[in-house]
Chains A and B, each alone.
Chain A
């Protein structure tokens, strides 16, 4: 990183790797991810299923067990507010979850307990961290109001099935921000929602971020959503970061072929600058039990050089790019595109 912050970063991840042992060999879901997040910064992490984008944030909270990863091997270092998280015991992580780091999950239909009222479920996020029952109940009503649910008194007594998808996601957000965490992790929070509802939830999140001054990691497969909410974008593939930088730089001075593919497959105005027609990325994501030895995207990349198949490219500052714009590529995408246009 070229920019030097005077304050210590909120989150500092170094060489994080997550491997799941399976009978068919270890699945190498995350392979050496390093980045930092400043307090109040919003980072958008983009990638397709299996890119390691969700797994690496769940790993740092010790939440892999639910995804069939009870035996996951996590290595590297994650420092949050200066404290190392990897290897911490369950009580220490539990004290952190929900209180300092909130999480909003993808599917609001199944992420709420169907047999408890939403009020009870919001209040639980507070009572789990020591707030009294009566105070938690009052605060739950404030939170419902804060996330834009009308008649909070009445709605708090309703069950999840009595809410629409968008309203349920607002409830999930209320739970995520209940303790005013320093970091909110949003794991594809708008993916299961209608486009109009998506826009409302994005507005709400931008608003809450400002009010609460929290940092956010927004995980998505949608470059369009990132453009709308994040300051920094990080593109992941095959358990590695391929490109990272300020949203403007990554969108308009794209240096990785995979990022370009994501932008070209984006419908609407945000993608129009990158293509003449809507295109998809050819090929399949790699088999993570036997990841390719070099650049994980090389087999699907028409600009790949022989070196791409042999050696993993390091994530490094783009020489003539914006400060903080990093790319992992052996090829020069700008030169390759120029050559293609000339031919």
Chain B
């Protein structure tokens, strides 16, 4: 049966895009405000690093002018916003390098790690939930459904250390650190994937159970449809909406987890960049990372909103009616 196109109408897309821009602007403004309120003076940090304990007033004034700190707040905000719109996020106080360049350098490694972890988590989480849902034996079902609860309760750093201990130091299967080749990706990705896959399995397991209990499951079985086909073509699509809703949380998990994971495995990446910048109060870099995180959230949620109607045709109608 040919399906009706489920592409969301232009108005829906435009509204979502507008909301996304608004969220990004709010994140930028918040980051700017926090930077302004924090009781730290970037100029004195810079001068201290240069080991100039007694900076002369002219030098301070020059630096303040360079960073526009001598301007009124509104002007400072305006300049910063204008620059951010042109992807100029200022310079690192620590190294003087442009923040945008630092981020651009760090993003590929973190994106690779996050993508690998997400792929592992999806395969593991969905596999576990489906196996638990199809298992006929009571004890097997109970074991498969209990596993995710254990997975979400394990802290990322502990999983990382455990994997390092077992697979790197004991069996020498994978390198313990670095960014070299796919072997160095295995352990960090696994570390990051465990809690995420457990969360996916938990949510999906519950929504699968709810979908099995729907009257349509019984009606479809009465047509003579087999259980595996019922699961894949009817129950899973109905159970997938809560999983899609989780995408934002999963992104958060992966970003937060990458800070810890990259530190444990000494990998370059956004997480390491953030961790280093926070340690020395390199505010522009921290601000850049905050903006990057906000942008990823907004992007993921935008994608989710555009995908909803593909999974559930009722959503567009509800939005239009509501």
Contact = CB atoms under 8 A, between A and B. Distances in A.
Nearest to B136: A70
Interface in A282-320: none
- Interface core residue of B3, B4, B216, B223 (most chain A CB under 10 Å): B223
B314 A140 contact: no
Measured as residues with beta carbon below 8 angstroms from the partner, the interface class of chain B is 20 to 34
A239 B49 CA distance: 87
Which of A113, A120, A172: most chain B CB closer than 10 A? A113
A158 B2 CA distance: 10
A94 interface: yes
A115 B314 CA distance: 8
Given A157-B2, A158-B4, A113 B223 contact: no
Contact of B220 (A102, A113, A114, A156): A113
A172 B219 contact: yes
A114 B314 contact: yes
B4 A124 contact: no
A61 interface: yes
Say what secondary structure dominates the interface of chain B. Answer: helix
B314 A159 contact: yes
A119 B1 CA distance: 6
A97 B224 CA distance: 5
Nearest to B237: A115
B53 interface: no
Interface in B1-25: 1-4
Given A61-B222, A111-B219, A125-B223, A66 B213 contact: yes
A272 interface: no
17 contacts: A66-B212, A94-B226, A105-B218, A110-B216, A112-B216, A112-B219, A114-B216, A114-B314, A115-B312, A116-B233, A117-B1, A120-B3, A124-B225, A128-B229, A129-B224, A140-B1, A175-B223
Given A67-B218, A97-B223, 18 more contacts: A61-B222, A90-B227, A94-B226, A96-B224, A98-B222, A98-B224, A99-B224, A107-B215, A110-B214, A113-B216, A113-B234, A128-B226, A129-B224, A137-B1, A159-B313, A159-B314, A161-B313, A161-B314
